[in-house]
């Protein structure tokens, strides 16, 4: 109850911010883009983890303004970063209720045009479960976004409830292998095999494959060896404050 009230004030007070974690292309580790991750800094009470406040926002109807804020802030950020970064793209996460809502398309278009950013610089990340909650509507929204040039990424792949029957018609450009498989792949050969086969599956369907949760150089090297397209994780960078991103780059 307390958090719910605080969350509605947090947006207005500027306590919700985006951190940016780089996505790097293998094998050269060029910056392929970044993922915007929302953080809630409570001045006197410490941070609330995103798993908690995003779920809370989804349950209390506050996810809509939060998502609009994320798109707008992320687009604005692209315009604020120094030119040497080039026209890098940004990925924004959307929840189950949002991906089924046709208003998403208008909100994204409005945010992009008010910041003069092309839609081809945006990736929308959506989990398998979000897609499965209302297949028809999410399919329609994502297909429309792709027509406009937005990339679609299936997040946390391998942990949700999608089936192969649905997979073959998923309107997506990218698969992100869930970090639970990636983090363990040097210790657990089963995880390594899953990662390898998901890469093959993604490529068979013309998708780029990203491994998230890359925490060591060994994992990065192995991913490069088995043909993964992109890596993201603490080994390269934690989610960074906006001004730290160009410094890191
Ligand atoms: O589900 P999604 O991929 O959007 O989750 C991203 C979350 O994973 C972020 O909260 C981010 O801080 C975290 N994360 C990013 N890289 C790593 C990593 O290398 N290891 C771990 N344990 N978590 C990570
Ligand atoms: Mn994500």
Give the alpha-carbon dihedral of 193, 176, 151, 128, to 10 degrees. 100
**What is the chain's pLDDT, residue by residue, as a tens digit (249 residues)?**
888 989 989 999 999 999 999 999 999 999 999 999 999 998 788 889 999 999 999 999 999 999 999 999 999 999 999 999 999 999 999 999 999 999 999 999 999 999 999 999 999 999 998 998 899 999 999 999 999 999 999 999 999 888 888 888 889 999 999 999 999 999 999 999 999 999 999 999 999 999 999 999 999 999 999 999 999 999 999 999 999 999 999
Q: Is the CB of 89 under 6 A from ligand 1?
A: no
pTM of the model: 0.96
CA-19 nearest atom, ligand 1: 12
Q: Is the CB of 174 under 6 A from ligand 1?
A: no
Which of 34, 81, 39 minimizes the C-alpha distance to 232? 34
Q: Is the CB of 33 under 6 A from ligand 1?
A: no
Residue nearest to atom 23 of ligand 1 (CA): 213
Three-state secondary structure of 73-134: HHHHHHHHCCHHHCCCEEEEECCHHHHCCCHHHHHHHHHHHHCCCCHHHEEEEEEHHHHHHC
CA-21 nearest atom, ligand 1: 15
Q: Judge whether 153 and 91 are in contact, CB under 8 Å.
A: yes
Q: Is the CB of 213 under 6 A from ligand 1?
A: yes
Q: Is the CB of 180 under 6 A from ligand 1?
A: no
Cα 216 to middle of ligand 1, angstroms: 14
Cα 124 to middle of ligand 2, angstroms: 9
Q: Is the CB of 233 under 6 A from ligand 1?
A: yes
């Amino acid at each position: 109850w307390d958090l719910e009230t605080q969350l509605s004030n947090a947006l207005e007070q500027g306590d919700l911010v985006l951190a940016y974690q780089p996505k790097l292309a293998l094998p050269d580790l060029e910056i392929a883009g970044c993922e915007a991750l929302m953080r809630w800094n409570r001045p006197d009470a410490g941070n609330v983890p995103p798993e908690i406040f995003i779920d809370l926002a989804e349950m209390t109807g506050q996810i809509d303004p939060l998502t609009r804020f994320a798109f707008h802030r992320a687009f604005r950020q692209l315009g604020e970063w120094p030119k040497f970064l080039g026209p890098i793209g940004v990925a924004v996460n959307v929840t189950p209720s949002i991906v089924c809502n046709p208003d998403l398309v208008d909100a994204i278009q409005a945010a992009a045009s008010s910041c003069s950013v092309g839609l081809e610089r945006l990736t929308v990340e959506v989990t398998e479960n979000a897609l499965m909650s209302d297949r028809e509507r999410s399919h329609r929204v994502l297909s429309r976004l792709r027509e406009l040039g937005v990339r679609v990424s299936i997040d946390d792949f391998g942990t949700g409830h999608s089936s192969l029957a649905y997979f073959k018609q998923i309107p997506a450009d990218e698969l992100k292998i869930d970090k639970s498989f990636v983090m363990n792949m040097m210790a657990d050969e089963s995880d390594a095999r899953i990662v390898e086969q998901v890469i093959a599956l993604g490529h068979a369907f013309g998708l780029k494959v990203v491994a998230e949760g890359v925490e060591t150089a060994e994992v990065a090297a192995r991913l490069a060896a088995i043909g993964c397209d992109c890596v993201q994780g603490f080994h390269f960078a934690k989610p960074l404050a906006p001004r730290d991103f160009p410094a890191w780059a």
